[in-house]
Structure 1
Amino acid sequence: METLTPGGTSKNSPGAPAAEANAGKRFKKPSFWRTALQQKYLYLMSLPFVIWAFVFSYLPLWGWTMAFQNFKPAKGFFAQEWVGFKHFQELFTDDRFYLALRNTLAMSVMGLVVGFIIPVIFAMLLNELRGMLFKRFVQTVSYLPHFVSWVVVAGIVTKMLSTQGGAINDLLVGLHIINEPVQFMAKGEWFWYIVTASDVWKEMGWSTIIYLAAITGIDQEQYEAARVDGANRYRQMWHITLPGIRTTISVLFIMQVGHLLQIGFEKQFLLGNNLVQEYSQVLELYALQYGLQMGRFSYGTAISIFNSVVSVILLFTVNGIFKKVSKESIM
């Protein structure tokens, strides 16, 4: 007896193989060149950015060869003296390098924890505001410091913490918390907290924009259902808003961990002084002072390679952990 397929075609009928062949052709994956031809305008639009990334991000990697040379600017590439891992050995035997590494990790971790949690909380609270005019005003005021240069921010922070007319010292003295003004900028143990607080104040509003955009993508019917079930605003934030932006939080956290050692040097350079140098020296400032300014270009390059390699390792490690735990990944 012939058996019929769900579509009504007999297994033994000559039309079955033809139908299967047509189905295979129908679902065949298109080739890359065919897709590129169909989306040629998108590829042409992205071409300038690909060229820009290659010129400014990948082409400079050729300069890493300096770390394995006793580089002299007056000599050509093939005339340089190759020294192998000599500069890396000097780097790992220098006590100042470990001091700079300690300061970099301390300020990076503090900035990562505080500077990552506060924007998320601020975005969730800002989303709960019902007055649109006041909400836009608060959001605008919060992200305006992002456009202020660190030179101006350092001047503001220094003036606020000054012992002569500084607002912080005047407030603490007026509230009788302290008896006399404190020289905050001369105390090394306070430097990490000052840099972290300044960075959070400057970048908090700008980081909030991404989370607010993610919150707007949450289905509003979930909030309506939660209100019907009697959930207050805090319950809605915890069970709806926070899970709704979990993917965005994970991606941004992984990317920030990848830049853990690359925190720059502007903040430390502008807010630091000789009295707090033991706490303000970071890896990039160390490379500038003991590498480029002293004409040790190969040594400075070795420091940059160390930063990049550690950043890549951290990025892949954290991404792998998140991929196993939450099934989310950026790669």
Structure 2
Amino acid sequence: MSIQTRPLAVPKKRGIFSYMRSEYMLYLLMVPGLLYFLVFKYIPMYGVSIAFQNYNIFNPDNSTWVGFDNFSKLISQIGFQRALYNNIVISLQKLVIGFPIPIILSLMINEVNSRNCKKFIQTSVILPNFVSWVVINGLMYALFSPSMGGIREIANFIGYTGQLPNLLTDVDSFQSVIVWSHVWKNAGMGTIVYLAALMGIDDQLYEAASIDGAGKWRQLIHITLPCIKSTIIVLLMFRVGEVMYAGFDQIFAITNPMVNPVADIIDTFVYRVGLQNKQFALATAAGLFQSVIGLVLVIITNAIAKKTDPDSSMI
């Protein structure tokens, strides 16, 4: 008597389109983001050719090709050189000061034992991210006004009646105001990302380290930071790619003619040259220059990250 056995049923491999049909609701959530990039990032690439033309807005088809003449003219302009310098200085300050602060905040919040207190701190940290720069601009004017601002009221309360500096019109302090207001507004989003990464660390690692006699500092150095290293590297690459973008909406909302020598950046230069002076080819050349340098920085950072930690690279 022979026993017949049935072969095990192997589940049929699902194709990508079958998976998309079954999870179509998740893909629908991607549509607004994809439309944003399509409309505002990819379709405008058609206009990049303007940077290489003597563009005629009234008769675009008859615009003559001038090669790299617009770039030569751009680099030789004192206004662009100043904007490029301010752009790099402000962006590097934002990177050096603003990048480690979310890491420090997330590590501190992660050590809070009270659940309600931790939720309150997280909400307080992330809340400024949802406030527009126009509102923040009004708050800063209300705070730093030397005649009737909040700091003036505090000075009067403690008995100081001397002249206070106007930080929003002082060329020596304006960039610091820009940098620290940026850090205050955007630190919360990075903090939440790092907190999510910290929650993914296995608690058994800390328990084993405690049994071996490791204190909080050694656990931080040998467990916490190595476990979130990939997250740190990825976010660092994103921040390096933004070095050429110093924040048009922030600076445009708060700048004034008195601080223009230290506040003018590439984005405000493009706005002024392109929309106000109608030099579209020159403005497009400046925007293309900005994008290419940003792309090169991301590629270099990604190559370094790939050698440091292959799992952290984007390409």
Q: TM-score, normalised by structure 2?
A: 0.87
User: Aligned partners of 1:203, 1:227: CA distance in 2, in Å?
Assistant: 35
| Equivalent runs, 1:303-318 vs 2, <5 Å | 303-318=286-301
- The answer for the alignment partner of 1:249 in structure 2 is 232
Query: Is the 8 Å Cα contact of residues 230 and 309 (structure 2) preserved in structure 1?
Result: no
User: Aligned partners of 2:217, 2:22: CA distance in 1, in Å?
Assistant: 43
- The answer for the alignment partner of 2:51 in structure 1 is 67
- The answer for the alignment partner of 1:204 in structure 2 is 187
SS in structure 2 of the partner of residue 206 of structure 1:
helix
Q: How far does the alpha carbon of each residue in 1:206-239 deviate from its partner, in whole angstroms, 9 at most, with x for none?
A: 2211101111110111111122223333332232
Aligned pair 1:131/2:109, yes or no? no
User: Aligned partners of 1:178, 1:249: CA distance in 2, in Å?
Assistant: 47
Range with bigger deviation, 262-271 or 155-164: 262-271
Q: How far does the alpha carbon of each residue in 1:126-147 deviate from its partner, in whole angstroms, 9 at most, with x for none?
A: 0000000011001101111111
Q: 1:121 to 1:35 in 2, by over 3 A?
A: same
SS in structure 1 of the partner of residue 181 of structure 2:
helix
User: Aligned partners of 1:182, 1:145: CA distance in 2, in Å?
Assistant: 26
CA RMSD of aligned residues (A): 2.5
Query: Is the 8 Å Cα contact of residues 52 and 68 (structure 2) preserved in structure 1?
Result: yes
User: Aligned partners of 1:224, 1:296: CA distance in 2, in Å?
Assistant: 64
- The answer for the alignment partner of 2:77 in structure 1 is 94
- The answer for the alignment partner of 1:190 in structure 2 is 173
* Structure with the greater alpha carbon radius of gyration: 1
**Could you list the runs of 5+ residues in structure 1 that have no partner in the other structure?**
1-25
Range with bigger deviation, 175-184 or 55-64: 175-184
41, 46, 53: which is aligned to 2:21?
Answer: 41
Aligned pair 1:120/2:103, yes or no? yes
Structure 1 residue 302: deviation in Å? 0.6
Range with bigger deviation, 260-269 or 48-57: 48-57
Amino acid at match of 1:36: I
User: Aligned partners of 2:49, 2:23: CA distance in 1, in Å?
Assistant: 33
Q: 1:111 to 1:215 in 2, by over 3 A?
A: same
Amino acid at match of 1:297: F
Q: 1:88 to 1:278 in 2, by over 3 A?
A: same
- The answer for the alignment partner of 2:142 in structure 1 is 159
Aligned pair 1:293/2:273, yes or no? no
Aligned pair 1:85/2:65, yes or no? no
Amino acid at match of 1:192: Q
182, 205, 218: which is aligned to 1:235?
Answer: 218
Question: Which of 1 and 2 has higher RCO (CA within 8 Å, sep 6+)?
Answer: 2
Structure 1 residue 97: deviation in Å? 0.7
Query: Is the 8 Å Cα contact of residues 273 and 280 (structure 2) preserved in structure 1?
Result: no
Q: 1:142 to 1:51 in 2, by over 3 A?
A: closer
User: Aligned partners of 1:43, 1:312: CA distance in 2, in Å?
Assistant: 33
Q: TM-score, normalised by structure 1?
A: 0.83
The number of equivalent residue pairs is 299
Q: 1:40 to 1:170 in 2, by over 3 A?
A: closer
Q: How far does the alpha carbon of each residue in 1:191-218 deviate from its partner, in whole angstroms, 9 at most, with x for none?
A: 1110011011111112211101111110
SS in structure 1 of the partner of residue 190 of structure 2:
helix
User: Aligned partners of 1:178, 1:257: CA distance in 2, in Å?
Assistant: 44
Query: Is the 8 Å Cα contact of residues 170 and 181 (structure 1) preserved in structure 2?
Result: no
Q: How far does the alpha carbon of each residue in 1:40-77 deviate from its partner, in whole angstroms, 9 at most, with x for none?
A: 4379637846566444422221100111122222214x
Query: Is the 8 Å Cα contact of residues 160 and 166 (structure 1) preserved in structure 2?
Result: yes
Query: Is the 8 Å Cα contact of residues 215 and 241 (structure 1) preserved in structure 2?
Result: yes
Query: Is the 8 Å Cα contact of residues 144 and 168 (structure 2) preserved in structure 1?
Result: yes
Query: Is the 8 Å Cα contact of residues 36 and 43 (structure 1) preserved in structure 2?
Result: no
Q: How far does the alpha carbon of each residue in 1:154-192 deviate from its partner, in whole angstroms, 9 at most, with x for none?
A: 111122111123334555677799953112122112111
Identity of aligned residues (%): 34
105, 113, 129: which is aligned to 1:146?
Answer: 129
User: Aligned partners of 2:277, 2:181: CA distance in 1, in Å?
Assistant: 30
Q: 1:329 to 1:165 in 2, by over 3 A?
A: same
SS in structure 2 of the partner of residue 250 of structure 1:
helix
- The answer for the alignment partner of 1:105 in structure 2 is 88
Range with bigger deviation, 61-70 or 236-245: 236-245
Range with bigger deviation, 39-48 or 158-167: 39-48
- The answer for the alignment partner of 2:6 in structure 1 is none
